[in-house]
Structure 1
Amino acid sequence: MSLRFRLICLFAIVLVVSLAVESTIVFFNASRSVRTEMNSALKVGQQIVGSALARLPDSNDRRRDLEDLVTSFKGNRHLRVSLTGGGAADPSLERSLFGTAPPWVVRILGADPVAARIPIAIAGQDYGSIVIETDPKNEILEVWNDLGDNLIVLSLFFGLNILLIYFFIGRALRPLNCLAVALKQIGHGNYKLRMDGNPVPELSRLQRSFNRMASELEEMDEEKRRLNEQLLTLQEEERSEIARDLHDEISPFLFAVNVDLAAISRLAGQGRCGEISGQIRATSEAISHMQRQIKTMLGRLRPGVLAD
């Protein structure tokens, strides 16, 4: 998993947790707000109904006034009022023009309708009861719409932040890709390579360290080449010296040994055996001299090691 993807995942987790916490707080406050709003609406409705009922004994048409009272609540977003018993009037229903909130939102907010029943009896005559019931659907729908708008804004904010993180983190970490390529070139022996540019401060020290390492490797490579050249020069000089010693010290004695052996062969053929011993001594001395010369050359080639 790349570092960029890890950072994006970390940021996504933080945003999701923040969104969950914020949603919890929003739903908690919304639930309390809906209940408060419904209780306030119920109290206001009770006051309106109470005031109307206080004027009802003076009315000439009490039944019609009660129906008008129920009708006056039509269009109310938070209350449903109905007249029950004694020729009940149609309840004041108000349908939302903007749909309804999902059932799970209603369950989470927990704002159940609350009803209040007010009996009506004037001069011993029963006119039924007025039922005032809270209707939290519109208030919940308003909360849901606000929450939906907030979710859209947060989603856009989340997407924008992901894009910005992807772009800027990629831009900031681009020197790491360059460093990987540069290290590969260093591995192939290109010690003259240097990293340039102005990376972020966290990577600037890494860039300087790489350039310093490349410089030191280049110096070491140059030193190695110089030592190799010196070694080759010394080897060539040693070979030249050995060749000179072989030519100057060994070759004449080899020639002398060859001459002595030819003389020994000739003397043996002539039956002059008494003279052969002198030639043998001369040959032995020449061979001894060559052995000493070869031992000396071996000593120069392998100091401290003398062959028996």
Structure 2
Amino acid sequence: MQNRSLKAGLSWLIAFALLAMLVVNVAILVFHAGPRVRDEADNTERLARELIIAELAGLQESVDPLPDLRRRFDNRERFRHIKVQFLSRNESYPVIVAQSSVDQRSDIPKWFVSFVAPSPRVSVIPAVIRGVRYGNIVIASYPVDEVAEIWSDVISLATASLVATLIFMGVVLLLVRRSLAPLDALASGLARLERGESNVRLTLKGAREFGDIATRLNSLGRTLDRVRGENQDLLQRLVRVQDDERRGIARDLHDEAGPCLFAIRAGASTLVETMSEEKLDLSLGRKAVVEIQRAGEALQDVVRRMLDQLRPPGLSELGLQAALQSLVVNWRGMRDDLDLTLECSDDLEPLDEAVALTAYRLVQEALTNIYRHSEATRAWVSVRSTRRTAPGEGGRSLDIIVEDNGVGFSGEGGKGLGLLGMTERVKAFDGSISVAERPGGGARIEARLPLGGREHLA
């Protein structure tokens, strides 16, 4: 199931928080309404008692107190929230209690009444005039007005708070949506990058965090554009390298294998002509055989050299160390004026064939550059298996170092397509390679290939 969007999540969170605040405010008002009603009823009842007692004192001189008592205290509603009534001695007061109940108000919810309004209370003051008790003055609590006022306040506050909450919620949600609007532009930019579009750049306005994300996304776009350009340039270079290799093979076949084949054909023709004569010329036939033998040996050398370029001899069968030793011996035979030294550790075997082939090609290309361009008199090749103990470099690696005391690299021009191809191949193994000037003169090529048991294509 798709997750809810950030905008929707924030909107619902803000709405819930504002509604919760509204509910809390109303609950606080309702919670304090009960004590308010009770205090108002107690104060009114206390004041009424004092006034009734004072009026009874004024009736002590009355000749006929009973009519005066009924006139003054029969259904007296001078007091707010209470009822005062005079009852003779033979009258009871449950009727006034029922009349004082707030349950008679249909416009007030029952739950609010039961929570806020106190239970009806009745207090009795004996109506005694000159020592004679004529009846009772009954005071019944009647808080219906106060409860109605509080309920009206609750409704007004809730309505005003709800309107204010809705307005505030609308403003906040609008601000949230405007603040999160850059997310749409970010999503669009990422989608364009995913589709492989180039020159993706974002200009965002808003919070600083969105600006930082846009800056990093623009940097990612520039990096991808650069990598795409480098890959295109590399593909073009690789195509040129393949064409150069094909032209080199064709040149070797034409310049070296061609004359050998011609010599073999010429010798074979001489043998045929000699054998067709009535009297054989053994010396001429022997000379033709010798020429054919020499041409065959030369052709064999050409084929061996071409095979060496295509696939190192003995690498799969004998291992990297033996293949490197054979390579160094061949280079030494080509130039006597170059002192070439090879050092290999004893724990090179077994190696993954792809790693071994990469190491061999790297050394081969480095020696080719030394022989062709360096004008060096000494060269050193070191191939060692090393265990890394630094943080983040756990495991073993194959370290390759090729140095010479020649003229070094003249800027980037000295780094040919061969080394460029080796650089890409080393990076394919998550390795590293550096090509730099050697202290004291000359060049230094250093490469490191991880040996973590990972499988790579040759």
Is the TM value for this pair above 0.5?
A: yes
Paired AA for residue 49 in structure 1: I
Who is 1:33 aligned against? 36
Equivalent pairs counted in the alignment come to: 307
Please list the CA deviations of residues 148-185 of structure 1 after superposition, one character each: whole Å capped at 9, or x if unmatched: 22222333333334433433222222222322332232
Cα distance in 1 for partners of 2:60, 2:247 equals: 143
50 and 282 in structure 1: CA distance in 2 versus 1, 3 angstrom threshold: same
1:237 to 237, 244, 252: 244
Q: TM-score, normalised by structure 1?
A: 0.83
Matched-pair contact (CA < 8 Å) for 1:49–1:69: no
1:127 to 134, 138, 141: 134
Who is 2:289 aligned against? 280
Q: Does 1:198 align with 2:201?
A: no
Cα distance in 1 for partners of 2:199, 2:219 equals: 11
2:72 to 69, 72, 97: 69
Who is 2:303 aligned against? 294
Cα distance in 2 for partners of 1:127, 1:78 equals: 26
Matched-pair contact (CA < 8 Å) for 2:100–2:142: no
Q: TM-score, normalised by structure 2?
A: 0.58
- Give the structure with the larger helix fraction: 1
How large is the Cα RMSD of the aligned pairs? Answer: 3.3
Cα distance in 1 for partners of 2:7, 2:168 equals: 13
SS of the aligned residue for 2:202 comes to: coil
73 and 276 in structure 1: CA distance in 2 versus 1, 3 angstrom threshold: farther
Please list the CA deviations of residues 252-286 of structure 1 after superposition, one character each: whole Å capped at 9, or x if unmatched: 33233223323433433446372433222222212
Cα distance in 2 for partners of 1:157, 1:262 equals: 113
SS of the aligned residue for 2:126 comes to: strand
- Give the structure with the larger strand fraction: 2
1:11 to 14, 17, 23: 14
Please list the CA deviations of residues 177-227 of structure 1 after superposition, one character each: whole Å capped at 9, or x if unmatched: 322332232233223101112121121111111111211221222222222
Structure 2: gaps (5+ residues) = 313-323, 328-458
SS of the aligned residue for 2:134 comes to: strand
Matched-pair contact (CA < 8 Å) for 2:87–2:135: yes
Matched-pair contact (CA < 8 Å) for 1:41–1:78: yes
Q: Which sits farther off after the overlay, 108-117 or 205-214?
A: 108-117
Matched-pair contact (CA < 8 Å) for 1:70–1:91: no
| Structure 1 residue 231 displacement after superposition | 2.4
Paired AA for residue 207 in structure 2: V
Q: Does 1:85 align with 2:88?
A: yes
Paired AA for residue 254 in structure 1: L
Cα distance in 2 for partners of 1:110, 1:211 equals: 67
Structure 1: gaps (5+ residues) = none
Who is 2:47 aligned against? 44
Cα distance in 2 for partners of 1:85, 1:273 equals: 174
Cα distance in 1 for partners of 2:170, 2:13 equals: 14
Greater RCO between the two (CA within 8 Å, min separation 6)? 1
Q: Which sits farther off after the overlay, 265-274 or 198-207?
A: 265-274
Paired AA for residue 288 in structure 2: Q
| Structure 1 residue 236 displacement after superposition | 1.8
73 and 250 in structure 1: CA distance in 2 versus 1, 3 angstrom threshold: same
Matched-pair contact (CA < 8 Å) for 2:100–2:140: no
SS of the aligned residue for 2:56 comes to: helix
Q: Which sits farther off after the overlay, 189-198 or 103-112?
A: 103-112
Who is 1:249 aligned against? 256
Cα distance in 2 for partners of 1:75, 1:42 equals: 12
